Structure 1
Amino acid sequence: MSICARFSPDLARSTTLCAVDQTSTAYEAAADRLATAAPGTAQVAAADLIRLAVADGELRQPVTDTICQWLRGPAGSSGVAVEERRVVLGSLTDRLRAQEAPWQGVSVDLSGTTLVDADFSGCRLGGAVFADTRFHGTTVFDGVTFEDEVMFQRAVFYDDASFTEVRFGGDAEFGRVRFRGRADFTGAAFGGMAWFGRGTDTWWEDDEAWETVEEIDPAPWEELNEDDPDWPVAVLIEDYQDWEEGGDGARFAGDASFAGVRFDGPAWFYNARFGAAATFAGARFAGRVHLDQPSVDLCDAYWAGGTEDGESEWPLGWTVRSDGTGGNLVPDSSVAPYSQQLADPDPSIRSAGLGSLNQLGDDRPELRQRVVATLCSFLRIPVPFDLHAQGRTAEQTTLLRLRQQAQRLLAERLRPGPGQWKDMNLWLCGATLVELDFSGCEGGYAEFTGAQFHGTTRFDGSRFDRAAFTLDGSSGRATFHGDVLFGAEPPDGVVFHGTVTSRA
């Protein structure tokens, strides 16, 4: 008989309490060994923790939290350190996907950490936080089930990322996530909101999160041809009145597939940027949708007609063929001669598409704002090569010529004269603009937050009802990489790398 039981008035109760004390002591000791582990010994300490949690289900969440806390610590750059972190994470994910006695309902917080070749395939999780996480190597979430909310905001996937057949039970936040390789969500199901818009957290004034907001460390921007716009990581919840506010959305540098995805809630891709092919073929949308990028393929997609959260926006050239409530997404013959040419990989067809948009706006004044929005979205596509590199390939020269064609089309239609499209709003958040000449242009609201201006830029003689080059102060700031000429005082808070001339 143990000492604990010998002096207890209730033998059974005392034995249980003693066992709990012993388990707690063993857990605390193992947790301390992991926290203080010398390089190369952490995986042994993690294995000890795993064994304790296998034996006692009550320890599964605390053990997971402890391992995640260690992974959130400083990441060594040596091959040994990288491999050790991979093994420790693998020991945890093995339990989260185990065929026998898996750890169901456990949540993970790996925010701000660096993960290499992370493989969560087949895991079943409660919630998950991957905000500001750096994913290197191939990242796999195939077949994962998330029962609760998932937060990936501002994470960076430096290589390919696979989310095929993932089940998101709650909201899935991918705000301002940067996918530098391919992003594959084929067959995924979003049970709540699928958010690929702004990456800014919105908190109430008394939220405890404000106490540690300065500890949030987003990955360096380091995107080709772009200075860091310094997008905000958090604002007061009342600062944004609409889902459209807050700057840049998710950024897809490589091919993106949402083929066959089911969106049970809103699908929000406002200000998301697709740098390559983006297919939503066969997708099913139930709620509000904002997906107006001209490169998107919606073949065989279906919208159920949900308008509870507001009206939906589709790319120009696509429309819903109503079946009474919703309907299939089909090519919109009413906007001929434009027929989604900007999604074609052939540069000559895209050039013809720009001409078709010009003609469409001239002939159909009621469509001019949509045409302008489509041109802006085209210019928001990231440039896939270094604009400052010496010597360009024929393909790069052609791509740049297409972008400048779109810029000229906008400028010509914004200048006073017989062909002017009056009172147009411009949405060029995060756009890359090369040798932009908006001299003498007029319009309504012009958004240039986070925009990157290369070469010589001209705004002399231009008049907009309101123009924004930052979100607030220097947050979300635009950058002028070359010389710029203004007709008024230069905007505050932006970055100038060249000569600034004002004719105010």
Structure 2
Amino acid sequence: MKERLALKPIPRWVIWAGLPAMVALAAVAVWVLLAFAPDSAQLDAIRTGGTLGVGLGGAVALWLAVRRQRSTELDLLQKHETHRLAEQVAADTREHQLRTAADAREDALARRVTEQYGKAVDQLGSERAPVRLGGLYALERLGQDHADSPLRQMIADVLCAYLRMPSEDTAEEAQVRRTAQKIIANHSRPANERHWPGLHLDFSGANLDQADFGQCRFDNILFTGTAFTGIANFAGTVFSVRAGFIGASFHGTADFENARFPAEADFRGADFAATAEFSSARFADAHFDMATFADAHFRDAKFRGRTSFDGSVFAEHAAFQQARFGGHTSFDHAKFRHDVSLHRSRFADSTSFADVSFQRYAGLRSIRFDGPVRFRKVRFGGDFDFGESEFAGAAELGHALVWLDREGAVLHNCPEGWTLGDPEDGWAPLTRTD
């Protein structure tokens, strides 16, 4: 802080020397005037000398008055500065006290939350199902009350870990686990005012029964190796980042109707033992390699990026009517053991059905291929229909075979420029007509 300048006291020698000097100066002035003035002007000279002396005294008095005023102002300024400093110290002291009190409250709150969290987690380890349910609801309340802390993610981690652990095959435990699923689902729906955004959820290896995640939004989630029993509802769900379902098994209906996958959808090795409903779903990159399907529905689905069903097995009906494929699409080595329909679907990029087995009806009617397409080494074990399909270039069906040794009506509607060749051991090759 810059120090203010204060007036120094007048040295004593100035007073003892200054007063005689002024008197002497006035006397000398009178003497000079008397010595050189005419006799008639001596009275004026004395008067002038007196006036000079009085003037000098007045000047000194004025200077002393100014100095006294300045000294008074400096004293007032000093007192004001002292008062201001005192107020600043008091304000700093109050701020420190308030900060200390706030820190104490935060510490007390943190200790209380930690105690409540620990107690709720301990309840999840109870042998009694009602106590475990109480622990779940206690954790949910803690997460709802502390939106600005990492507590919500910690609670989500605990719930996911609980669902990943082996469970007892009892009705009470099933109820507890469904409650944990419901808590996560409720807080993952943006339409819910109690939404907890940004959670990282890891259900890898978990067993989920009657999982209802419809209309949820998942920002970071894993279902690697997850087993779903009962209906698995993901209708209208948005997976804003990669959706990892590698090796997941669906023992009941898997409902992904109108689901959104703006990032990668990875279902490699997934097993759909019942209906797999993906109608009107929207995909970026989609990988269903080596997946197994019972009844598969992809009607009006849209695949914007690269799509792969390589090595997939479709045990029952496979419906792809009016599906749209925007990137490279591959069904290489896939097996369709029942009827498959691709009617009115569109392929905007290159498409490959190499070494695919169509064991029943292959509905390939009214398809439009805007890029190159390969049906090389395809096996048609039943009826097939390429009627009204459009090919941007020549269709490649080299080494494709058609099974002829069967009873009943037969529908073999070949693509333009191809026909059946001479059969051998019941199989007829597709050959070019030109």
Unaligned runs of 5+ in 2: 1-94, 357-361, 387-395, 408-421
From 119, 137, 141, the equivalent of 1:47 is: 137
Taking the TM superposition and a 5 Å limit, the aligned residue runs for 1:423-438 are: none
Cα displacement (A) at 1:40: 4.0
Structure 1 position 114 matched with structure 2 position 207? yes
From 250, 253, 257, the equivalent of 2:291 is: 250
Q: 1:299 is matched with which residue?
A: 343
- How far apart are the structure 2 equivalents of 1:7 and 1:99? 41
Q: 2:300 is matched with which residue?
A: 260
Amino acid paired to 2:206: T
Structure 1 position 290 matched with structure 2 position 330? yes
- How far apart are the structure 2 equivalents of 1:6 and 1:22? 24
Cα displacement (A) at 1:196: 0.7
For the residue of structure 1 that corresponds to 2:351, the secondary structure is coil
Structure 2 vs 1, CA of residues 149 and 410 (structure 1 numbering), >3 Å: closer, same or farther?
farther
Q: TM-score, normalised by structure 1?
A: 0.52
Structure 2 vs 1, CA of residues 264 and 90 (structure 1 numbering), >3 Å: closer, same or farther?
same
Taking the TM superposition and a 5 Å limit, the aligned residue runs for 1:59-458 are: 59-97=151-189, 99-191=192-284, 193-197=285-289, 249-253=290-294, 255-291=295-331, 293=334, 295-305=339-349, 311-314=350-353, 321=368, 326=370, 351=382, 367-369=397-399, 371=400, 412=425
Q: TM-score, normalised by structure 2?
A: 0.59
Structure 2 vs 1, CA of residues 8 and 27 (structure 1 numbering), >3 Å: closer, same or farther?
farther
RMSD of the alignment, in Å? 4.0
- How far apart are the structure 1 equivalents of 2:345 and 2:202? 34
Structure 1 position 19 matched with structure 2 position 59? no
Structure 2 vs 1, CA of residues 15 and 319 (structure 1 numbering), >3 Å: closer, same or farther?
same
Please identify which structure carries the higher helix content: 2
Count of residues in correspondence between the two structures:
297
- How far apart are the structure 2 equivalents of 1:157 and 1:411? 41
Looking at both structures, which has the greater relative contact order when contacts are Cα pairs under 8 Å and sequence separation is at least 6?
A: 1
Amino acid paired to 1:257: H
For the residue of structure 2 that corresponds to 1:180, the secondary structure is strand
The answer on whether the counterparts of 1:37 and 1:45 sit within 8 Å (CA) in structure 2 is no
Structure number with larger C-alpha Rg:
2
Amino acid paired to 1:78: T
The answer on whether the counterparts of 2:236 and 2:258 sit within 8 Å (CA) in structure 1 is yes
Greater mean alpha carbon deviation, residues 30-39 or residues 156-165: 30-39
The answer on whether the counterparts of 2:345 and 2:368 sit within 8 Å (CA) in structure 1 is no
Tell me the alpha carbon deviations over residues 187-234 of structure 1, each in whole angstroms, 9 at most, x when there is no partner.
Answer: 11123x21111xxxxxxxxxxxxxxxxxxxxxxxxxxxxxxxxxxxxx
- How far apart are the structure 2 equivalents of 1:301 and 1:352? 19
Cα displacement (A) at 1:33: 2.3
Structure 2 vs 1, CA of residues 353 and 296 (structure 1 numbering), >3 Å: closer, same or farther?
closer
Structure 2 vs 1, CA of residues 318 and 103 (structure 1 numbering), >3 Å: closer, same or farther?
same
Amino acid paired to 1:196: F
- How far apart are the structure 2 equivalents of 1:410 and 1:156? 41
Unaligned runs of 5+ in 1: 198-248, 306-310, 343-349, 357-365, 376-396, 399-408, 422-504
Taking the TM superposition and a 5 Å limit, the aligned residue runs for 1:28-43 are: 28-36=118-126, 38-43=128-133
